[in-house]
C-alpha cells in the first residue's frame, strides 16, 4: 500500500518530523539531495559530464542547490541556474547558497549548452501556489527545450501537487524523485505523464510523523491480490458466492456475457443471469456455466442469491425499472449497481432515497459510475465531474451511504468514513466497450464471497486493471477488447 499525499499533508509531516521528532530541516534536505544525486549518477554514464540545475527560491530550489554541491563533489561539471527574486529566498535556500559558494560550480543566467548529461528541475515543489507566468514560464519552456535526461525534484515544476493539473506550463521530466511520500499529483493525469518514472526517496519522514492523522488517500500495489478471500478447502460451489446478475436487454447480451464470465473468473461459485428471453441462446452458448432466468423469476432468484449485480446492458425499459425496484425494495442483499441501473437511479429519486436509507441501515451497496453516469447522478456536467472526480465521488458515497467506484483514467474508490483508494493498475487499451461490465462482474463476485464492500471495490478495480495490463501486453493497446480481460484473469 502506498500513501498519496497532498501538499498540506506533506507540510504537516515535514513539520512534525522537524519540530516534534527533532530531525533538523537541513538533514531532511541533505537526504533529499543525496537521493537525487545518486539517481543522477546512476543515470549518467560515469562522472564528469555537464549537469544543469534549475533552482527556484523556495526549499525545492534549496534541494537543487544541495544536489548541485553533491554532484560537484562527484566530479560533474555543474551549472546552477537560479530563477526568481533572491530577496524572497527561503532561509534554507540562503544557507544552501552560502555553502555552495565554496564549491566549483558555475552560476548562469541562461543555460546555453547543448550537451547536458542531466538537467535537474528544482524550480517549484509542493509550494507552487498559482499559475506559472513571465520569467518562470520562460524558464520552464527553455528547460523543456534542452536535450538531455531530465529529473524533477519532488514534483515537476508547474504540476499541481494535489491534482496533477498543469498550472500554465510544466516541466516534462524523464523521472521524478519525490520525497517522503508520493504526492497525489504524480499519479493523476496529466501530472503522471509529466513526471515520467516516479520513485519515492526515504528522507527520514516516516509514518511516525503522522501523529494520529494519516494521509487520506492511498493506492494498492501488488499486495491487493493477497486480499482476495481465502478459498476454504472444504467449500463447494454454494459457498463461494451465488451471484445474481440482472443484465442485458435485447441486443445487449454482450454486457451480460462479459459480467458473468468475469464473476466466474473471480471465483464466484455460481452465477445466475436474469436477462430477456431473446438473449437465452447466445448466453447459453457463450457462458454455459451460467444459470439463466427471465425477469418474471426475479423474486425466487433473489432468495437464492448471496449478492446482486444489476445494470450492465440493462436498458431503461419498464421491465428494467421493475427489476431495479425488485432488488431495492424486495431485498437487503449486498448490491452492486452499474450502468443503466445508475441511469435509472438518477431518474427516480424515490429509488435513490430508498437505497440511501438502506445504506444507512447497513446494506452493502456499491455503485460503479463512469463520469457520464456520475454527472447524471450528481446533476453536474461531465467536464465538472471529470475535474472534480474526488469530491463528486465522496459526495455521492456520503449521500447514499454506499461505496462509489468513480471510473475515469484514474478510478477512485470512495466510501463513507473511508480513506480514498486510487486504482493505479490498468492501461488505456482498456478504454473499450464492455470493460465496465467486466469490472461489475469482478466486484460482484468479491462481494458475494463476503468481502467488505469497500475492499471488494478497491481490490476489484485493481484486479480489473491487472487483467487489462496483461491483455494489452498480449494484444497491444489498439487490439485489446473487453473479452480479452476475462481471458487474462488468473488468480
Ligand X SMILES: NC(=O)C1=CN([C@@H]2O[C@H](COP(=O)(O)OP(=O)(O)OC[C@H]3O[C@@H](n4cnc5c(N)ncnc54)[C@H](OP(=O)(O)O)[C@@H]3O)[C@@H](O)[C@H]2O)[C@@H](O)CC1
Binding residue ranges = 59-63, 121, 125-131, 136, 154, 157, 255, 313, 370, 407-411, 436-437
Q: Which is nearer to ligand X, 25 or 118 (CB)?
A: 25
Given K ion, ligand X, none, residue 29, with its beta carbon under 5 to 8 Å by kind, binds ligand X
Q: What whole-number distance in Å separates Cα of residue 183 and Cα of residue 166?
A: 15
Distance CA 228, CA 267 (A): 10
For ligand X, the closer of residues 162 and 306 by Cβ is: 162
Q: Which of 248, 453, 434 is nearest to 340 (CA)?
A: 248
Per CB under 5 A, does 488 bind K ion? no
Q: In the bound complex, what is the minimum distance in angstroms from residue 161's beta carbon to ligand X? A: 7
Residue 468's binding partner, choosing from ligand X, K ion, none, with beta-carbon cut-off 5 to 8 A by kind? none
Kindly tell me which residue out of 129, 206, 284, 381 binds ligand X, with binding defined by CB under 6 A.
Answer: 129
CB of 333 to ligand X, least distance (A): 48
59 near ligand X, judged by CB under 6 A = yes
Task: List residues forming the annotated binding site for AMP.
Answer: 407-411, 436
Q: Examine residue 25 and tell whether it contacts ligand X (CB under 6 A).
A: yes
- For K ion, the binding residues in 66-125 under the rule CB under 5 A are 121
Rounded to 10 degrees, the C-alpha dihedral 245/249/252/257 comes to: 20
Residue 29 is a binding residue for ligand X (CB under 6 A): yes
Q: Among 125, 269, 293, 359, which residue sits at the site for ligand X (rule: CB under 6 A)?
A: 125
Is 124 a binder of ligand X (CB under 6 A)? yes
> Does residue 295 bind ligand X (CB under 6 A)?
no
Shortest Å distance, C-beta 142 to ligand X: 16
Which of the listed partners (ligand X, K ion, none) does 129 bind, with a CB threshold of 5 to 8 Å by partner kind?
ligand X
Assess 152 for contact with ligand X (CB under 6 A).
no
Say whether residue 63 binds K ion (CB under 5 A).
no
Q: How far is the CB of 122 from ligand X (least distance, A)?
A: 7
Nearest approach, Cβ of residue 128 and ligand X (Å):
4
54 near ligand X (CB under 6 A): no
In the list 6, 157, 209, 368, the residue contacting K ion (rule: CB under 5 A) is 157
151 binds, among ligand X, K ion, none (CB under 5 to 8 A by kind): none
> Which three three-digit cell numbers place residue 281?
441462446
How far is it, in rounded angstroms, from Cα 439 to Cα 242? Answer: 17
Between CA 314 and CA 332 the distance in angstroms is 21
Q: Pick between residue 32 and residue 375 the one whose CB is nearest to ligand X.
A: 32
Does residue 40 bind K ion (CB under 5 A)? no
For ligand X, the binding residue among 9, 121, 154, 162 (CB under 6 A) is 154
Binding of ligand X by 206 (CB under 6 A): no
**Per-residue binding letters, 172-191, with ligand X (x by CB under 6 A):** -------x------------
How big is the site for ligand X, counted in residues (CB under 6 A)? 28
Residue 126 to residues 11, 39, 120, 130, 196, Cα–Cα distance (Å): 9, 21, 16, 11, 17
Contact partner at residue 121 from ligand X, K ion, none, CB < 5 to 8 Å by partner kind: K ion
Return binding residues for (6S)-NADPHX.
59-63, 125-131, 136, 154, 255, 313, 370, 437
Q: Which stretch binds ligand X (CB under 6 A): 22-30, 265-273, 283-291, 311-319?
A: 22-30
Rounded to a whole number of angstroms, the minimum distance from the CB of residue 268 to ligand X is 46
Which one among 44, 67, 68, 126 touches ligand X, defined by CB under 6 A? 126
Q: Which is nearer to K ion, 191 or 269 (CB)?
A: 191
By CB under 6 A, residue 36 contacts ligand X: no
Q: Which does 126 bind (CB under 5 to 8 A by kind): ligand X, K ion, none?
A: ligand X
For ligand X, which is the closer residue by CB, 138 or 319?
138
Which residues are CB-neighbours of 220 under 8 A, at least 6 positions away?
Answer: 1, 2, 227, 421, 423, 424, 458, 459, 462
- Name the minimum Å distance from CB 412 to K ion: 25
The answer to whether residue 209 forms part of the interface with ligand X (CB under 6 A) is: no
3-state SS string for the chain:
CEEEECHHHHHHHHHHHHHHHCCCHHHHHHHHHHHHHHHHHHHCCCCCCEEEEEECCCHHHHHHHHHHHHHHHCCCEEEEEECCCHHHCCHHHHHHHHHHCCCCCEEECCCCCCCEEEEEEECCCCCCCCCCCHHHHHHHHHHHHCCCEEEEECCCCCECCCCCCECCCCCCCCEEEEECCEEHHHCCCCHHHHHCEEEEECCCCCHHHHCCCCCCEEECCHHHHHHCCCCCCCCCCCCCCEEEEECCCCCCHHHHHHHHHHHHHCCCCEEEEECCHHHHHHHHHHCCCCEEECHHHHHHHHHHCCEEEECCCCCCCHHHHHHHHHHHHCCCCCEEECHHHHHHHHHCHHHHHHHHHHHHCCCCEEECCEHHHHHHHHCCCHHHHHHCHHHHHHHHHHHHCCEEEEECCCCEEEECCCCEEECCCCCHHHCCCCHHHHHHHHHHHHHHCCCCHHHHHHHHHHHHHHHHHHHHHHHCCCCCCHHHHHHHCCC
CA atoms in the 13 A half-sphere facing the CB of 242:
14
Chain contacts with K ion (rule: CB under 5 A): 121, 152-153, 157
Chain contacts with ligand X (rule: CB under 6 A): 14, 25, 28-29, 32, 56-61, 63, 88, 90, 124-132, 136, 153-154, 179, 203
Amino acid at each position: 500500500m502506498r500513501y498519496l499525499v497532498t501538499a498540506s499533508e506533506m507540510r504537516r509531516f515535514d513539520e512534525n518530523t522537524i519540530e516534534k521528532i527533532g530531525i533538523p530541516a537541513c538533514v531532511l534536505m541533505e537526504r533529499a539531495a543525496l537521493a537525487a544525486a545518486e539517481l543522477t549518477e546512476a543515470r549518467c554514464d560515469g562522472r564528469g559530464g555537464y549537469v544543469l540545475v534549475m533552482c527556484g527560491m523556495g526549499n525545492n530550489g534549496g534541494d537543487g542547490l544541495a544536489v548541485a554541491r553533491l554532484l560537484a563533489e562527484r566530479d560533474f561539471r555543474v551549472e546552477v541556474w537560479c530563477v526568481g527574486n533572491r530577496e524572497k529566498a527561503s532561509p534554507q535556500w540562503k544557507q544552501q547558497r552560502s555553502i555552495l559558494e565554496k564549491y566549483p560550480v558555475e552560476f548562469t543566467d541562461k543555460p546555453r549548452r547543448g550537451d547536458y548529461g542531466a538537467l535537474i528541475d528544482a524550480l517549484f515543489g509542493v509550494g507552487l501556489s498559482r499559475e506559472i507566468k513571465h520569467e518562470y514560464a520562460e524558464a520552464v519552456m527553455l528547460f523543456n527545450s534542452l536535450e538531455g535526461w531530465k529529473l524533477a525534484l519532488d514534483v515537476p515544476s508547474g504540476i499541481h501537487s494535489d491534482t496533477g493539473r498543469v498550472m500554465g506550463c510544466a516541466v516534462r521530466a524523464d523521472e521524478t524523485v519525490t520525497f517522503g511520500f508520493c504526492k497525489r499529483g504524480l499519479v493523476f493525469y496529466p501530472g503522471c505523464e509529466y513526471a515520467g518514472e516516479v520513485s519515492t526517496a526515504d528522507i527520514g519522514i516516516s509514518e511516525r510523523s503522522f501523529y494520529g492523522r494519516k494521509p487520506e488517500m492511498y493506492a494498492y500495489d501488488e499486495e491487493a491480490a493477497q486480499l482476495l478471500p481465502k478459498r476454504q478447502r472444504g467449500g463447494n460451489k454454494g459457498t463461494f458466492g451465488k451471484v445474481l446478475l440482472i443484465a442485458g436487454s435485447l441486443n445487449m447480451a454482450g454486457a451480460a456475457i462479459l459480467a458473468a464470465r468475469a464473476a466466474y473468473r473471480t471465483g464466484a461459485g455460481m452465477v445466475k443471469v436474469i436477462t430477456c428471453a431473446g438473449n437465452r441462446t447466445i448466453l447459453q452458448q457463450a457462458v454455459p456455466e451460467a444459470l439463466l432466468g427471465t425477469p418474471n423469476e426475479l423474486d425466487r432468484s433473489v432468495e437464492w442469491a448471496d449478492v446482486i449485480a444489476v445494470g450492465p446492458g440493462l436498458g431503461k425499459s419498464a421491465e428494467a425499472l421493475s427489476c431495479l425496484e425488485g432488488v431495492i425494495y424486495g431485498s437487503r442483499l449486498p448490491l452492486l449497481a452499474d450502468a443503466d441501473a445508475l441511469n435509472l437511479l438518477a431518474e427516480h429519486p424515490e429509488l435513490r432515497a430508498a437505497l440511501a436509507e438502506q445504506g444507512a441501515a447497513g446494506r452493502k451497496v456499491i455503485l460503479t459510475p463512469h463520469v457520464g453516469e456520475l454527472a447524471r447522478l450528481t446533476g453536474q456536467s461531465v467536464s465538472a465531474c471529470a475535474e472534480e472526480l474526488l469530491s463528486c465521488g465522496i459526495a455521492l458515497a456520503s449521500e447514499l451511504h454506499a461505496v462509489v467506484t468513480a471510473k475515469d483514467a484514474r478510478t477512485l474508490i470512495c466510501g463513507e468514513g473511508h480513506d480514498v483508494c486510487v486504482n493505479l493498475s490498468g492501461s488505456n487499451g482498456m478504454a473499450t466497450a464492455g470493460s465496465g461490465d467486466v469490472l461489475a462482474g469482478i466486484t460482484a463476485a468479491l462481494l458475494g464471497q463476503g468481502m467488505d464492500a469497500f475492499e471488494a471495490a478497491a481490490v476489484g478495480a485493481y484486479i480489473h486493471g491487472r487483467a487489462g495490463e496483461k491483455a494489452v501486453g498480449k494484444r497491444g493497446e489498439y487490439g485489446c477488447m473487453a473479452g480479452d480481460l476475462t481471458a487474462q484473469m488468473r488468480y
